[in-house]
Structure formats: C-alpha cells, structure tokens
Amino acid sequence: MSSPDTEELATAPPPEEPGVPAVPGRGRFWRGLTGSLAAGMVVLAVCVLSIAGICLFTGAPGPGPLMLIGHPVAAVAALLCQRVADARNGRVAGFAGLGVVVSVTAALSLFWWN
C-alpha cells in the first residue's frame, strides 16, 4: 500500500549537492577515456622514475634524461587538461580531452614507439 507522498518520492530526482556541477550524460565516454589515458600516463611516469632510481643505485643502465624529464611533463600536461575537461562542458571540454590524447600520444610516440 502506497501513499501519494511515497509515490512522489519514488519519481522525484534526488536533490543536487551544492558545489557539485551537474554533468550531463553526453561526453561520459570521452571523459572516461581521457581520464584513463591521463591516469595511465601518471602511472607510466612514476614507473619510469622508479626504474631510474633503481638503476641509479644498482649501477645498471637506465632511462636517459630525456625520458626522465619527458614523462613527468607529459603526465602533468595530461592531468591539467583532464582537470579542465572534467570541470567544463561543451567544446572546451572536448578540446581539453584532445589535449590529453595529444600529450599521451606524443609521449608514447617519442619515447616508446621509435
């Protein structure tokens, strides 16, 4: 047995939290893809720096200075672009996501696919 009050609660959308922007369903795949690319670039940069540290202490040859500088720079650029993509909507978010893809692709093509 239901009352009119419970039926209204069942069909009403939940209230929005203050300070949290409403993100429409459009662009969720793009934001998810670029967020995954940015997070993967951060993981790759941490791994490269960790391996360089291990190689420094063991005396083994490791990644060169270009890789040690390029990976963190690409990771920071990807994270900054992803932050803009998450905070904005529309064309600005799309171009920021494109910036993530470009920075990750540039890092991978310059340092790994040569």
How does pLDDT run across 10-40, given as a tens digit for each residue?
Answer: 665 666 666 655 555 667 888 999 999 999 9
pLDDT grade for 42, boundaries at 50, 70 and 90: very high
Q: Please, where are the H alpha helices in the chain? A: 4-11, 28-58, 65-87, 91-111
Is 104 exposed, middle or buried (CB count within 10 Å of its CB: 0-12, 13-18, 19+)? buried
Cα–Cα distance for residue pair 100/85, rounded to 1 Å: 9
Distance CA 51, CA 70 (A): 15
Mean pLDDT, range 56-83, rounded to an integer: 94
